[in-house]
Amino acid sequence: LRVYVLIILVSNMCLMCLCCCFFFFQAEDGIRDAQESRGLGDVYKRQAYNRKSYCKTASLIDHSLAATAVLADPTNIAYKEAARCYGSNLGVAFQIVDDCLDITGSEGQMGKPKLADMAEGIATLPILLAAQKDPKVDAAVRRRFVQEGDIAISTEAMERHGCVAEALMIADQRCRTAVEGLSK
């Protein structure tokens, strides 16, 4: 009976996480224009990327590890929080690496065309880093790469500024933070 109850609890946590992410993205679309018009564009884009990465990937790892910690010792809140911190950071690092592979990987490796995210109008971390350094890339991001040449300009700027390497360093730091959180 205890196993069934725990399975239900874990399922409810995952469902709750998915619902929260859905409602977040619905609200996010409504406030994006207002925030960008107040001059929060660059900060907002990076924050939105972090939230999207958490909701898309990290939340599942975060909640799964937290549920495992609760199963191991339901009274140890510190254990659960350490597991959540580890899962959250590891999940965001995983998403960053995945986004870098969209730029550097081959279609054979990825199972999808190279630069598929930009083709869909999605600005990933390497692109957002390039946008901070190059106004042409920033404009392409704001247009969601719909203008001819936007993807080429953005790709060239990412290479010139070393944005994939910078993004991978951020992923590495997330991994380090994840591991450090386990020793607290």
Tell me the average pLDDT across 102-127.
90
pLDDT band, residue 11 (cuts 50/70/90)? low
- Tell me which residue of 126, 120, 131 sits closest to 41, measured CA to CA: 131
Distance CA 180, CA 68 (A): 19
**78-91 confidence digits (pLDDT tens):** 989 999 999 999 99
The answer to which of 31-45, 56-70, 105-119, 170-184 has the lowest mean pLDDT is 31-45
Whether the pLDDT of residue 34 is over 60: the answer is no
Residue 2 CB partners (closer than 8 Å, separation 6+): none
The predicted pLDDT at position 13 comes to 53
Distance CA 115, CA 101 (A): 9
